[in-house]
């Protein structure tokens, strides 16, 4: 399939377009061209292969910054900027865990991001297993004194990814809740819909009023085994986690523009995040989003005449650890009124099935043909407005910039997310290009319009 896409693309990508004058016709032509365009695959393959993992503060993230500048340059973007901001970093060290009784068994784990380390010699204790987070929260104070708390709450597979909400809460807050009850360490079933032994990491957030205890995610079958053994008798686990932090670290947002032809000061901000967790190569999270939005903008940039407004792709420098878009918004308070709309691509590379726009957007005449343009891609326009533009653009949304959301099918996203299995081979080139097609068509229609998505004052 990879060969197929590239072969088509070689013939088509540089062909001059023969387009009708109407924005919807141009959007439809962009859509069709995107389906066989090689750019997104080339970008995602190059980033995951030549740069690899890109945790904030790592040498990989510095390579990624340079890669981003080169990629924007090579693809014809202008106004390329590298904007540094302060971001404390956390670096994983050697990690191990094993059941030590009733019999020795090595466990598959990943320390949670920002976890404190154990003492160098590790710690060993008996476990208390909870099959839900609610069960942990119901445990009385002091009931876990000297114990390792294990929460084995499964995650629900959903198309829109909303199962992440409940499961992610365990990861963020579980360690402090266990510590409040006396636990010396916190282990959790990975936030995962797969049945792989590979654990899934992600950040935790220590509460200010609880001891900071080491915390790690278990492979799903590992968590099940511990629960089944604990039903039969005492289970002891030894845990060793090493990590270092750099409170003086920095990160970078890198952006490039397809300059507007008539109103270049009006900016549509899109992008994905460049940083990634360390165990995999950050392919679905989020080299894919970087590639999809970059390729869509680049296709528009190749048109003989750019649309009215500027399309800006931002490769965000710290989504996994937070703070990118807040830093970005803070640095350009005076320009935010000209930011027309913002959105991210950050839920993998599987096909888009719905578009959520700002409230009342479909009343705009300029978008009248949008359903027709998106229909061949099997994308409907949701009746509800976009509740969230994505974590990459939270700082912009908080500053009042309207957001839209192209909803990707996340059914298999959390099989891979934040694990060593987040690698290039998980990306389906055909679905990747369906994403590019949707982004290119939608972006063009917004960029070549004068739509104002901001709510009007009551008349």
CB of 292 to a copy of itself, least distance (A): 20
CB of 177 to a copy of itself, least distance (A): 26
> What are 185's strand-pairing partners?
148
The DSSP secondary-structure symbol of 143 reads T
In the bound state with a copy of itself, the residue whose beta carbon lies nearer, of 187 and 314, is: 187
C-alpha R_g of the chain = 23
Half-sphere exposure of 197 (CA within 13 A, CB side): 4
CB of 313 to a copy of itself, least distance (A): 24
User: From CA 155, how far away is CA 166, in angstroms rounded?
Assistant: 8
User: From CA 284, how far away is CA 416, in angstroms rounded?
Assistant: 8
In the bound state with a copy of itself, the residue whose beta carbon lies nearer, of 30 and 69, is: 69
Q: Which residues are catalytically annotated?
A: 319
User: From CA 425, how far away is CA 407, in angstroms rounded?
Assistant: 22
CB of 379 to a copy of itself, least distance (A): 27
In the bound state with a copy of itself, the residue whose beta carbon lies nearer, of 47 and 295, is: 47
Q: What is the 3-state secondary structure (H, E, C) of 166-210?
A: HHHHHHHHHHHHHHHCCCCEEEEECCCCCCCCCCECCECCCCCCC
In the bound state with a copy of itself, the residue whose beta carbon lies nearer, of 60 and 289, is: 60
CA 176 to chain centroid, in Å, comes to 25
In the bound state with a copy of itself, the residue whose beta carbon lies nearer, of 232 and 363, is: 232
User: From CA 419, how far away is CA 53, in angstroms rounded?
Assistant: 11
CB of 240 to a copy of itself, least distance (A): 14
CB of 219 to a copy of itself, least distance (A): 8
Q: Can the peptide bond before residue 87 be classed as cis, meaning omega within 30 degrees of 0? A: no
Q: DSSP letters of 277-300?
A: -SSS--IIIIIHHHHHHHHHHHHH
CB of 169 to a copy of itself, least distance (A): 23
Q: DSSP letters of 102-140?
A: SS-EEEPEEEPBTPPPPPTT-EEEEEEEESSHHHHHHSP
In the bound state with a copy of itself, the residue whose beta carbon lies nearer, of 232 and 383, is: 232
Q: What SS3 class is residue 4?
A: helix
In the bound state with a copy of itself, the residue whose beta carbon lies nearer, of 40 and 329, is: 40
Q: DSSP letters of 348-415?
A: -SSPEEEEE-STTGGGSGGGTTHHHHHGGGT-EEPSSPPS---GGGHHHHHTT--B-EEEE--TTGGG
CB of 111 to a copy of itself, least distance (A): 14
Bridge pairing between strands 309-316 and 263-273:
parallel
* Pair 275, 61: CB distance under 8 Å: yes
Q: Report the interface residues with a copy of itself, using CB under 8 A.
A: 45, 49-53, 59-60, 63, 102-103, 105, 108, 195-198, 219-221, 224-225, 228-229, 232, 280-281, 419-421, 423-426
In the bound state with a copy of itself, the residue whose beta carbon lies nearer, of 243 and 423, is: 423
CB of 244 to a copy of itself, least distance (A): 16
CA 18 to chain centroid, in Å, comes to 36
Q: What SS3 class is residue 263?
A: strand
Q: Characterize 5-26 residue by residue with b for buried, 16 or more Cβ atoms within 10 angstroms of its Cβ, and e for exposed.
A: bbeebeeebeeeeebeeebbeb
């Amino acid at each position: 399939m990879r060969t197929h896409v590239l072969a088509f693309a070689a013939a088509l990508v540089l062909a001059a377009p023969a387009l009708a004058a109407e924005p919807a016709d141009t959007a439809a032509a962009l859509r069709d061209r995107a389906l066989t365009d090689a750019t997104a695959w080339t970008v995602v393959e190059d980033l995951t292969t030549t740069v690899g993992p890109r945790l904030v503060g790592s040498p990989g993230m510095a390579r990624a910054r340079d890669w981003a500048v080169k990629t924007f340059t090579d693809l014809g973007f202008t106004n390329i900027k590298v904007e540094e901001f302060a971001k404390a970093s956390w670096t994983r060290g050697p990690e191990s865990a094993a059941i030590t009784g009733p019999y020795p068994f090595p466990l598959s784990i990943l320390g949670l991001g920002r976890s404190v380390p154990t003492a160098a010699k590790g710690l060993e204790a008996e476990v208390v297993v909870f099959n839900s987070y609610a069960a942990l929260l119901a445990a009385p104070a002091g009931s876990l004194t000297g114990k390792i708390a294990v929460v084995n709450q499964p995650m629900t597979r959903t198309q829109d990814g909303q199962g992440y909400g409940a499961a992610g809460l365990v990861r963020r807050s579980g360690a402090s809740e266990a510590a409040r009850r006396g636990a010396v360490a916190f282990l959790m079933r990975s936030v995962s819909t797969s049945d792989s032994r590979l654990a899934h990491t992600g950040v935790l957030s220590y509460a200010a009023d609880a001891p900071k205890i080491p915390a790690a995610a278990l492979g799903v079958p590992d968590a099940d085994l511990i629960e089944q053994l604990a039903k039969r008798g005492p289970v002891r686990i030894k845990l060793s986690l090493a990590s270092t932090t750099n409170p003086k670290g920095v990160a970078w947002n890198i952006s490039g523009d397809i300059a507007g032809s008539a109103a270049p000061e009006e900016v549509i901000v899109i992008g994905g995040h460049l940083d990634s967790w360390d165990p995999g190569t950050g392919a679905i999270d989020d080299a894919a989003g970087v590639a999809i939005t970059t390729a869509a903008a680049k296709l528009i940039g190749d048109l003989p005449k750019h649309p009215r407004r500027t399309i800006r792709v931002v490769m965000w420098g710290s989504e996994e650890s937070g703070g990118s878009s807040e830093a970005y918004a803070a640095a350009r308070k005076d320009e935010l009124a000209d930011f027309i709309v913002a959105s991210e691509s950050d839920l993998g590379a599987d096909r888009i099935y719905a578009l959520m726009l700002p409230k009342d957007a479909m009343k705009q005449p300029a978008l009248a043909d949008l359903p027709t343009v998106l229909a061949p891609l099997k994308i409907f326009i949701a009746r509800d407005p976009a509740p969230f533009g994505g974590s990459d653009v939270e700082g912009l949304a908080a500053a009042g910039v309207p957001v839209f959301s192209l909803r990707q099918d996340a059914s298999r996203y959390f099989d891979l997310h934040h694990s060593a299995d987040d690698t290039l081979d998980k990306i389906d080139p055909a679905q990747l290009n369906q994403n590019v097609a949707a982004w290119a068509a939608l972006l063009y229609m917004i960029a070549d319009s004068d739509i104002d998505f901001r709510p009007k004052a009551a008349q």
